[in-house]
Structure 1
């Protein structure tokens, strides 16, 4: 390549952050064959970011200390995509000790929890940043974690990164865009490709295959064919990765605005068979004499609809991981419970109970926390409870029990139940929707009248002991459960009536 071909091209995009009165210049490698209008706005955004108090203070401090500094990865990528970013990641030739020495005078706080990996965190001008020493990580092909090796070149550091669209950096304070692997072209083509051969990249860190699925959903990009083929070929290598790292990537995928493409990618490449096998198992074989809906496609549609309800209703912190896990996994009990009935019918009796057990087992294997496991399992157990309400309206007692059993998962259960209606029969869908509207209205009325969310017996344990003249023990618990059932069946009847009914029950129990 000629010298002129490698010479940087420049665009005037505003002011130099160090000298506000002068022109600011950002340089893009001349080999980047993209239309100038496609990058001008991105370069302007990067220039504005470089002029921000946080970035300009860091840039000036490292420059004064004689060290390189570059904004790297997500913030640079997102400037081209016109996406906001909350993370400011930097890379430098300075060692962790040198980083600490440089930032100490300008940081409100700093921490070195990632020091052995070369990463120092800090709060500068009110923003949190991470600064990492150039790295050239080495993998032995067996260990689940790389051996951290510090490097001395920005280009080498970028070459080790997962995808070309993330292997972009903005040198500071030069404001020079560094793109050694064609990341800008891939951004504009909405393509995910590895900087090195995909077999080498995924062999070095198999978790990158899960990241491809996450970025496919997060960015709406497609995976380049060679990279896609390598994901299928090396799917088994994901088993080298710790359950915690796999869990975190799956969670990030589910928390994107549209996780469906990423989930499809995991299933189609065989990665899901290794990390979440219950999902590809939903692709049940279709018998020519027995017909039922495609459970796999149904589950993806339920996930899509749950996300829509989650956002529209606004009663949950969105994105909500528990809600999305429950939606994706709500029918995983169907493969084990499918029965081909006479006449072409297909049944899945108790798939809610079996599915809850399978979900708990899988989430434990992925090292999810107990609260998440319990909540997802509970939602799957209850997701069929509503169906039938449309045929025969429940008693107040049944409504109270529905609320009691859902507990603090009631709003999520509302969403999951509504999202589970995927029928194309408009009349049936409307009937179920109207029925659930009615159920929610009845829950609201009862909640207002009876403090339904905190249903308890009208006598507490001490009052039960006093009424029956018994000490603490098993019998107090039995009496408490009797009063709770009475409260659920009949609603509030008052402490005096509750005491009278308790004495009647106790007398009958003693006589028996």
Structure 2
């Protein structure tokens, strides 16, 4: 068998050739770029190490006409953000000062064996290199060949506890599996996750949750104790309502909901082909300039029942959770603010937690959803409505095994009046399908191209006051709201009808 070779992409090789020409001293390619190349993946950035990292970074910035950013002044870590260019996949180049006496010492201080491989930049890089060309003191290439993510010593987590969370992020992004000894080390050192700055934890968490399938990592984090070391407010949920949810209680349900949300988001185009393009555009708009919106929705799913334990009461022999939605919204907001999440992310998660019961209440009302009820729902939720509906979909789907969910997807996404649910057994499954049908109906109403869920105003406050000859005050707002409800119900469709409608309210 011929030795395994590692292939670097043409764009990366050209960038590294230009870097190597800038100085005579050794420069090393390290970390994720080599790991990803060994896995056959394209890397969006390059990590370099060498002496006088500041000087090297400045030379690279001039060579590539990019923007130089200091990431860590104390440890001399710099980032070159490359200017946009057609066809360019490479986004940035990070340059770090060698840590320790030499490159071998530097690699021994890195987080995982898969990231502790280096290549000294030659003047010319061939398309592929044998493994023998790489410096690999911790046998990271062998771990990569076996699909393993490994950390050998607890001190590496002690030196930077953020690595506890990074382990799951790298695992999610690369498909590498954390081995049992590494998971044992994470369990042993899990309490250290409270030490890193909130901003660093938030960044890792969003990067993890942005990866499709990340719900499995959340479950693995819980199994080794890291999840509730990070989110201490979730620990009481583990012992709450175990008679109903089974071992793990409300926390198990929250993780089930995350798994169902993953299921929905990964298959949205197949489940709702008529909505896929509009939904993708909505997610892209919400993520503009920030984290992928799926990560925010995954956070909302994880925290949607965060206050069930504190509100649990037994009433007439039945376990109830009065106000767990409103108190949960407040608690979720505190949790995310402590981790320095943006105001937009905090507000969105809090809104979803606060309103996550509303679609269920519409189903419980018995009859069809009226235009007025739908309008009030979309008025209150605004652009958070699609995300809320996805979390609600997952919340109800979480009560059903995935195999049964797959069988019932067609009915769950169908039109309620036209779908016969009488043959669905047991009753709990039929109830779940009714909830999913309602969510599907609201999703379609939100993205209806012919009719906005919240109609545009036909009149403003000044026009109402002038037409009715009334002074400013709360009555003007009440009239405008009644007008919009009439618009939502189709009773008022143009300005003339709007003026006639408000005249009747005088």
**Shorter-chain TM-score category?**
0.7 to 0.9
* Deviation for aligned residue 1:374: 1.0
| SS of residue matched to 1:66 | coil
Partner of 2:411: none
Q: How does 1:128-147 map to 2 (within 5 A)?
A: 128-136=91-99
2:200 counterpart residue number: 245
Shift of 1:439: 4.3
Write out aligned runs for 1:409-420 (5 A). 409-420=384-395
> Following superposition of structure 1 onto structure 2, how do residues 205-216 of structure 1 map, counting pairs within 5 Å?
205-216=160-171
Question: 1:232–1:270: 8 Å Cα contact kept in structure 2?
Answer: yes
Selected match of 1:192 from 149, 162, 175: 149
Classify 1:115/1:223 alpha carbon distance in 2 versus 1 (closer, same or farther; 3 Å): closer
Once residues 472 and 270 of structure 1 are traced to their aligned partners in structure 2, the CA distance between those partners, rounded to angstroms, is 58
Q: Which residue of 1 aligns with 2:433?
A: 430
Aligned partner of 2:46 in structure 1 is 88
Contact 2:119–2:134 (CA under 8 A) maintained in structure 1: yes
CA gap of 1:120–1:388, structure 2 versus 1, over 3 A, is closer
Q: 1:411 to 1:99 in 2, by over 3 A?
A: closer
Task: Report what 1:338 is aligned to.
Answer: 312
Q: Which residue of 1 aligns with 2:373?
A: 398
Q: CA deviation at 1:123?
A: 3.1
Change (3 A) 1:169 1:407: same
What residue number does 1:492 align with?
492
Write out aligned runs for 1:119-158 (5 A): 119-121=78-80, 123=82, 126=88, 127-136=90-99, 151=100, 153-158=102-107
Question: Which residue is 2:28 aligned to?
Answer: 70
Residue among 57, 77, 86 paired with 2:18:
57
Asked if the contact 2:216/2:259 (under 8 Å) is kept, the reply is no
Q: Deviations over 1:106-154 (max 9, x none)?
A: 3232414347324241538854432424332xxxxxxxxxxxxxx5522
Query: Aligned-pair RMSD on alpha carbons?
Result: 3.0
Q: TM-score, normalised by structure 1?
A: 0.77
Contact 1:218 1:258 survives alignment (8 Å): no
Q: 1:378 to 1:224 in 2, by over 3 A?
A: same
Task: Tell me whether 1:168 sits opposite 2:117 in the alignment.
Answer: yes
**Structure 1 match to 2:7:** 45
| 2:450 paired residue among 448, 451, 461 | 448
Q: Contact 1:217/1:260 (CA < 8 Å) preserved in 2?
A: no
Shift of 1:497: 4.6
Alignment CA distance shift 1:188-1:492 (3 Å): same
With 393-402 and 224-233 compared, the bigger mean Cα shift is at: 224-233
| Distance in 2 between residues matched to 1:75 and 1:319, nearest whole Å | 26
Q: Which runs of 5+ in 2 are unaligned?
A: 270-275, 285-291, 401-425
Deviations 1:307-348 (A, max 9, x none): 2322324412466222211122122222122223445x3222
Q: Report the structure number with the largest CA radius of gyration.
A: 1
Q: Secondary structure in 2 aligned to 1:332?
A: coil
In structure 2, what is the equivalent of residue 310 of structure 1? Answer: 265
- Structure 1 residue 258: deviation in Å? 2.0
Q: CA 1:129–1:485 in 2, change beyond 3 Å: closer, same or farther?
A: closer
1:252-331 to 2 correspondences below 5 Å: 252-285=207-240, 290-292=243-245, 294-311=249-266, 312-313=268-269, 314=276, 315=279, 316-317=283-284, 320-331=294-305
* Counterpart-to-counterpart distance in 2, 1:307 and 1:98: 42
Gaps of 5+ in 1: 1-35, 137-150, 507-512
**CA displacement, residues 132-182 of structure 1 (integer Å, 9 cap, x when unaligned):** 24332xxxxxxxxxxxxxx55221221221111111122211762111111
Change in Cα spacing, 1:221 to 1:106, as seen in structure 2 (3 Å) is closer
TM-score, structure 2 length as denominator?
A: 0.77
Shift of 1:301: 2.4
